[in-house]
Structure 1
């Protein structure tokens, strides 16, 4: 079993917690209050900008040309994802640039940028892979459950259930397998990112600054 697959399987408990979270269930059923989704979009846009910067740092630290090309491809994918958020912002007259990150968002972005700035490429991949693999998992799971076009959040589900997003998640997992080592630091980075994902949903759901475990 590859390192990426092993880490995913070892963190299935947190993936399941995310899938069962009331925020995600609300998206799938179309019952999530719009206010909660707006709050999520604003915070996620801030997060994605940090995620893009982490890819850029990984690109700069890549030890070979193939890795540089791959991180560039992944960075481009995040910028496309941000376009989805811009669409939501225009619909709701939101100014994403004026958003103040809450505690849960800052906890995640600080962790990502510190890892990307200070650690080796393999550990950077371990910190970033959970976001991509988890969102692909959530999108595909909700699509299988039958989230229809009448759902106000159907576009969100389509985005993360799309085979193209799955390709990006798999690409990052390939980089984790290529550059990562099965060390305590790698395992810790992966699990911390998964926990921060659940915290992020909790923050968007309850409207507080979020908690740290």
Structure 2
């Protein structure tokens, strides 16, 4: 069993909590109130900019050219994701440059602190949960998402083979890390906790309805 598989299996409690969260289930049913989704998109755009910067820092610390190229391609995937957010912004008048809410700030602070101050392996461990979780959510929700859900595009994006392929590339980088480094598992777990907090923040952002 590779390191990435082991860490994902060790965090199934948080993966299930994210999948079953009312915010995520509301995406599949189409019943999620639009203000909550719009809030989430704005906060996610803020997060993704930090995520791209973390890739840039990982690229700078990469031990060889092939790893640099991997990080470059993965960073380009983040900018593709931001382009999807721009489509939402035009459609639903979403602010893509909001003030970060507390969970957003906590997540980006964690990510950038690790990216600035720690070795490349720990950066990968902090970044992998986001990719694997969203690929998992897309694939889990795709069969049950209602055709009329206004959020079906979100589901289809994260269920795509392109996202799965990018996720596996990042996981291969994680598998190449030293499995004896306890910081890897700690960072992976922290990122998973912050993912759940991010969904919970969006669910409660505008109160009921």
For the residues of structure 2 that align with 1:180 and 1:206, how far apart are their CA atoms? 39
Question: Gaps (5+ residues) in structure 1?
Answer: 209-213
* 1:10-32 deviation digits (Å, cap 9, x = unpaired): 00110000001000000011110
Q: Does the 8 Å contact 2:43/2:101 carry over to 1?
A: yes
Q: How does 1:54-203 map to 2 (within 5 A)?
A: 54-97=54-97, 99-145=98-144, 147-203=145-201
Note the C-alpha offset of 1:184.
1.8
Q: Call closer, same or farther: CA 1:117–1:101 in 2, change over 3 Å.
A: same
TM-score, normalised by the number of residues in structure 1: 0.94
* Residue 32 of structure 2 is aligned to residue 47 of structure 1: no
For the residues of structure 1 that align with 2:60 and 2:11, how far apart are their CA atoms? 29
For the residues of structure 2 that align with 1:178 and 1:20, how far apart are their CA atoms? 31
Note the C-alpha offset of 1:93.
2.5
Q: Call closer, same or farther: CA 1:164–1:180 in 2, change over 3 Å.
A: farther
Q: Does the 8 Å contact 1:23/1:205 carry over to 2?
A: yes
Counterpart in 1 of 2:11? 11
Q: Does the 8 Å contact 1:14/1:195 carry over to 2?
A: yes
Note the C-alpha offset of 1:185.
0.9
Q: Does the 8 Å contact 2:30/2:150 carry over to 1?
A: yes
TM-score, normalised by the number of residues in structure 2: 0.96
For the residues of structure 2 that align with 1:53 and 1:180, how far apart are their CA atoms? 24
Note the C-alpha offset of 1:180.
4.3
Q: Does the 8 Å contact 1:23/1:204 carry over to 2?
A: yes
